[in-house]
């Protein structure tokens, strides 16, 4: 720990901004606010959802937004929760950090054969960079622990 008060305050502000960025990612999905969702990311963004069947790849931000919009379009409502943030700063670059969080996703699918709610449980690893517009997610990896139900097309 440093005795430099300004550095300590900056680190607290950064932690808050990083945590808020990860929360905004989840909330924008559920609100179907695609502009706010896109604002969470750098362009391009590395996405690894291979645990759920999407091979890891670099996406242009707009392409990742389109992927999310299409994927969630079959569900009349969703709830994405991202609690338990653990934020680690890069030891050599104060403009880079990792936020690891728990993942709990609910996808409402009334009338589905498998279950009225498709659930995903696991964690996220978000790599963020400080930009002129604030902290942005540059890489996101979804670690899937288990699922309840199965996604069904509407």
Cα–Cα distance, 68 to 29 (Å, whole number): 8
Cα–Cα distance, 61 to 127 (Å, whole number): 15
For residue range 44-103, list pLDDT tens digits in order: 999 999 998 889 999 999 999 999 999 999 899 999 999 999 999 999 999 999 999 999
Q: What is the pLDDT of residue 60?
A: 98
Q: Which CATH number fits domain 5-148: 3.30.420.40, 3.30.70.60, 3.10.450.50, 3.40.50.300?
A: 3.10.450.50
For residue range 114-127, list pLDDT tens digits in order: 889 999 999 999 99
Cα–Cα distance, 153 to 109 (Å, whole number): 8
Cα–Cα distance, 77 to 31 (Å, whole number): 9
Provide the CB-side half-sphere exposure for 27 (13 A, CA): 10
């Amino acid at each position: 720990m440093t005795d430099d008060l300004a550095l300590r305050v900056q680190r607290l502000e950064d932690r808050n901004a990083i945590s808020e960025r990860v929360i905004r990612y989840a909330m924008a999905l559920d609100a179907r606010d695609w502009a706010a969702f896109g604002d969470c990311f750098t362009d391009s963004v590395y996405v690894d959802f291979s645990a759920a069947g999407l091979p890891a790849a670099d996406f242009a931000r707009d392409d990742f937004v389109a992927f999310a919009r299409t994927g969630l379009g079959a569900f009349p409502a969703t709830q994405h929760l991202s609690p338990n943030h653990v934020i680690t700063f890069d030891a050599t670059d104060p403009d880079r950090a990792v936020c690891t969080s728990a993942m709990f996703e609910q996808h409402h699918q009334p009338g589905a054969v498998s279950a009225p709610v498709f659930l995903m449980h696991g964690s996220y690893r978000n790599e963020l960079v400080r930009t002129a517009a604030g902290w942005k997610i540059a890489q996101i990896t979804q670690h899937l622990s288990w699922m309840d139900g199965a996604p069904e097309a509407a």
